[in-house]
Amino acid sequence: MTFVYPYRYAKIRIDPAQHDDEADVVHSLRHELCHLVLAPFDHAIKVVERILEDDGTAGRAFDEAARFVVEECIINIERILSEQEGNSQ
């Protein structure tokens, strides 16, 4: 079994034309940056998924739970950042 080491750099591309306004662009950038913060968890998730790949039910259940947890963490980080942004103004 071979595992790929998690990345250290990322390139984020955001098309401003796909967003309503500057605040929407900033929100998308913030969301993608949160994914970078959680990249070590994503790597751990991929490792466990590979271990469970032959167990369909367990693999699907783990994948669903892992994706939910990562997105909930991102939402919580975004809330913290938004609250801090509001307090600094």
Question: Is residue 29, in this structure, part of any structural domain at all?
Answer: yes
Buried b (16+ CB within 10 A) or exposed e, 31-52: beebbeebeeebeebeeeeeeb
Q: Residue 48: give the domain boundaries.
A: 21-87
* pLDDT one-digit tens code per residue, 29-48: 888 888 888 888 888 888 88
Instruction: Supply 27's token pair.
Output: 């929100």
Contact 59, 53 (CB under 8 A): yes
User: How do residues 1-36 score in pLDDT, each as one tens digit?
Assistant: 444 556 677 788 888 889 999 888 888 888 888 888
The CA distance from 47 to 35, in Å, is: 17
Counted domains in the chain: 1
Query: Mapping DSSP to helix (H, G, I), strand (E, B) and coil, where does residue 1 land?
Result: coil
pTM: 0.66
In this structure, is residue 13 part of a structural domain? no
